[in-house]
A and B are shown apart, each in its own frame.
Chain A
Amino acid sequence: MPLQGNYQGSSFFELLQVDHPHLAPDLSVWGESAAALRPESVPHGTTVLTMKFGDGVLVAGDRLATAGHSVASRDVVKVFETDPWSVMAISGAAGPCIEMARVLSVELEHYEKLEGESLELEGKANKLSQMIRANLPAAMQGLAVVPLFAGFDTRRKTGRLWKFDITGGRYEEGEFDATGSGGLYARESLKHGWAADLSRDDAVKVAVAALTAAADEDRATGGVDLERGIYPIIKVCDQNGHSDATEQEIAACYRAILEARAAGGNL
């Protein structure tokens, strides 16, 4: 019978694996051939960060993708809305990362339509960790997917955020986290600027400062590109759902940093 497959559950990821294996992003098969891939031939995303603030969570990412020592793209998007209450930011091999974000967003919508209710925020994070675990063979060969996941928990009325490791390990963080090649520098910057009760505007400032610090120290991170008009993507998720920080807002934060630096500040 057309349309009717073998899979009867509510997971889109499993539906693909069972009934449409040619569509499933079965990244494990990449594992064997990935050994032949040189890391410089595959674009990698660089710095992404997430933090809690007074009203919810903020997720930010620069726009640069690198392949080895070359720029693969200057305006790649690494921060994705996976549903109205959650955001995923990716670092690692861009191809599998972006595909994983896409599958997760269909997964969450698919579950909601079939079951009539959406998953709890923790359930969404758990689903993502299963998908990362499925990618482990590829990760062992260098095609790692290391995302950050954050969102507004509508039941607990608070923002929450998770980091992951390549084995699918899922760790909830209470304050902030950053990953990717410039993640270490971004975390250092966040450590100084972050406070639990930041306002939304201050949180955006702290995020721009952290990305700028990462771009300063890590050549693979893009930061703010005023010349080309390419700005990091900064998404905020609070009790009203998503909103984006505007380019003007980000540019203003960045100019303030440049001015402070020119005046001899230590930013």
Chain B
Amino acid sequence: MSMPFYVSPEQVMADKAEFARKGIARGKSIVALEHQGGVLMMAENATTLNKIGEIYDRLAYCGVGKFSEFDQLRKVGVRFADTTGYAYSREDVRGRSLANAFSQVIGDVFTQQIKPLELEIIVAEVGDDRYEDHKSNSLYRIKYDGFISDHPGFVAIGGNVEEVESVLKNDYRDGMPAGEAAQLGRRALSAGAERSSELDAGSLEVCLLDRQRTGRKFCRLSADEVQGMLDGS
């Protein structure tokens, strides 16, 4: 009788992590940053396959890596949020519980399946001025192994994330106007894309969680609106 090869758990995990990291690093970056009027999410993405999407009234989702995998996970999130909101109330759908649920799913796949999910995601939540204890925004980052962290101010995932983060770290300040946040986001993404010139509005996918809106806070900006925002109008 032949014995299966013994592979240490450390080795299995390290191999899976290496595999997932490679897949994610091949893609382009996404940044999410807080500003005066809510949260801005920006991706380098000139295609019609969206990387940023709406989950619920105050929640948005960004994913990098393998499109089919992170888009499927987005749908799982929408189903989770809509079901929770229907069973309880719309105010009961919160970012932290959604981010934890995502972390659970991604972590389970990482430990139980042969192939881990090649993705990394952001869950962004905009604060609610009506409730004293829900006023602040939240940005959660969840990695391919289910590791979850929260990031006050800004967060970046995918591609050359170190370059992108270093620009954000240097120039981010609390309470920036939306236009300034958009310019900073573009500068950070351009640094990550290793380009000599800055990315133009047409190659950016930009979405907002706008505090001022009633009901659903999520909105997707057209190329013209993005240009307007970058020009500071």
Closest-by-CB residue of A relative to B86 is: A106
User: Nearest Cβ in chain A — how far from B58, in angstroms?
Assistant: 14
> Which of the segments B38-46, B74-82, B150-158, B192-200 contacts the partner chain?
B74-82
Q: Which residue from A1, A4, A12, A116 sits with its C-beta under 8 Å from B82?
A: A12
Q: Which residues, 49 to 70 on B, are CB-close (under 8 Å) to A? A: 50, 53-55
Judged by a CB distance under 8 angstroms, whether B104 is at the interface is yes
**Contact across chains for B105 and A1 when beta carbons are under 8 A apart:** yes
**Contact across chains for B78 and A110 when beta carbons are under 8 A apart:** yes
**Number of chain A residues close to chain B: CB under 8 A:** 20
User: Nearest Cβ in chain A — how far from B94, in angstroms?
Assistant: 15
Closest-by-CB residue of A relative to B101 is: A3
**Contact across chains for B85 and A106 when beta carbons are under 8 A apart:** yes
**Contact across chains for B82 and A109 when beta carbons are under 8 A apart:** yes
**Contact across chains for B50 and A116 when beta carbons are under 8 A apart:** yes
Closest-by-CB residue of B relative to A110 is: B82
Residues of chain A contacted by B87 (CB below 8 angstroms): 20, 23
Residue of A2, A16, A19, A106 ringed by the most chain B CB atoms within 10 A = A2
Judged by a CB distance under 8 angstroms, whether B166 is at the interface is no
Known: A1-B105, A2-B101, A2-B104. A102 touches B78 (CB 8 A): no
Judged by a CB distance under 8 angstroms, whether B171 is at the interface is no
Q: How far is the CA of A123 from the CA of B79 in the complex (A)?
A: 21
Known: A113-B53, A113-B54, A113-B55. A5 touches B79 (CB 8 A): yes
User: Nearest Cβ in chain A — how far from B173, in angstroms?
Assistant: 33
User: Nearest Cβ in chain A — how far from B206, in angstroms?
Assistant: 16
**Contact across chains for B83 and A4 when beta carbons are under 8 A apart:** no
Q: How far is the CA of A132 from the CA of B76 in the complex (A)?
A: 27
**Contact across chains for B76 and A23 when beta carbons are under 8 A apart:** no
Judged by a CB distance under 8 angstroms, whether A252 is at the interface is no
Residues of chain B contacted by A20 (CB below 8 angstroms): 83, 87
**Contact across chains for B86 and A113 when beta carbons are under 8 A apart:** no
Residues of chain A contacted by B83 (CB below 8 angstroms): 15-16, 19-20, 23
Q: Which residue from A2, A15, A106, A109 sits with its C-beta under 8 Å from B105?
A: A2
Residues of chain B contacted by A116 (CB below 8 angstroms): 50, 53
Judged by a CB distance under 8 angstroms, whether B129 is at the interface is no
Residues of chain A contacted by B231 (CB below 8 angstroms): none
Judged by a CB distance under 8 angstroms, whether A114 is at the interface is yes
**Contact across chains for A3 and B104 when beta carbons are under 8 A apart:** yes
Residue of B53, B83, B86, B101 ringed by the most chain A CB atoms within 10 A = B86
Query: Contact mask A5-20 → B, CB, 8 Å, 1/0?
Result: 1010000100110011
**Contact across chains for A1 and B108 when beta carbons are under 8 A apart:** yes
Query: Contact mask B148-187 → A, CB, 8 Å, 1/0?
Result: 0000000000000000000000000000000000000000
User: Nearest Cβ in chain A — how far from B47, in angstroms?
Assistant: 13
User: Nearest Cβ in chain A — how far from B143, in angstroms?
Assistant: 17
User: Nearest Cβ in chain B — how far from A108, in angstroms?
Assistant: 11
Q: How far is the CA of A1 from the CA of B101 in the complex (A)?
A: 10
Q: Which residues, 14 to 40 on A, are CB-close (under 8 Å) to B? A: 15-16, 19-20, 23
Closest-by-CB residue of B relative to A15 is: B79
Q: How far is the CA of A12 from the CA of B86 in the complex (A)?
A: 10
Q: How far is the CA of A3 from the CA of B109 in the complex (A)?
A: 12
Q: How far is the CA of A19 from the CA of B87 in the complex (A)?
A: 13
Known: A16-B83, A20-B83, A23-B83. A114 touches B105 (CB 8 A): no
**Contact across chains for B82 and A3 when beta carbons are under 8 A apart:** no
Closest-by-CB residue of B relative to A105 is: B86
User: Nearest Cβ in chain B — how far from A121, in angstroms?
Assistant: 19
Closest-by-CB residue of B relative to A81 is: B215
Pick 17 A–B contacts, CB within 8 A, sort by A.
Answer: A2-B104, A2-B108, A3-B76, A3-B79, A3-B80, A3-B101, A3-B104, A3-B105, A4-B76, A12-B82, A15-B82, A16-B86, A20-B83, A20-B87, A23-B86, A106-B85, A114-B75
Known pairs A7-B79, A16-B86 / 16 extra A-B pairs, C-beta < 8 Å: A2-B108, A3-B76, A4-B105, A12-B82, A15-B82, A15-B83, A19-B83, A20-B87, A23-B83, A23-B86, A23-B87, A106-B86, A113-B78, A113-B82, A114-B75, A116-B50
Residues on B facing A (Cβ under 8 Å): 50, 53-55, 75-80, 82-83, 85-87, 101-102, 104-105, 108-109, 216
User: What 10 A-B pairs have minimum CB-CB distances, sorted nearest first?
Assistant: A113-B78, A110-B82, A3-B76, A3-B105, A2-B104, A113-B54, A3-B80, A106-B86, A3-B101, A23-B87
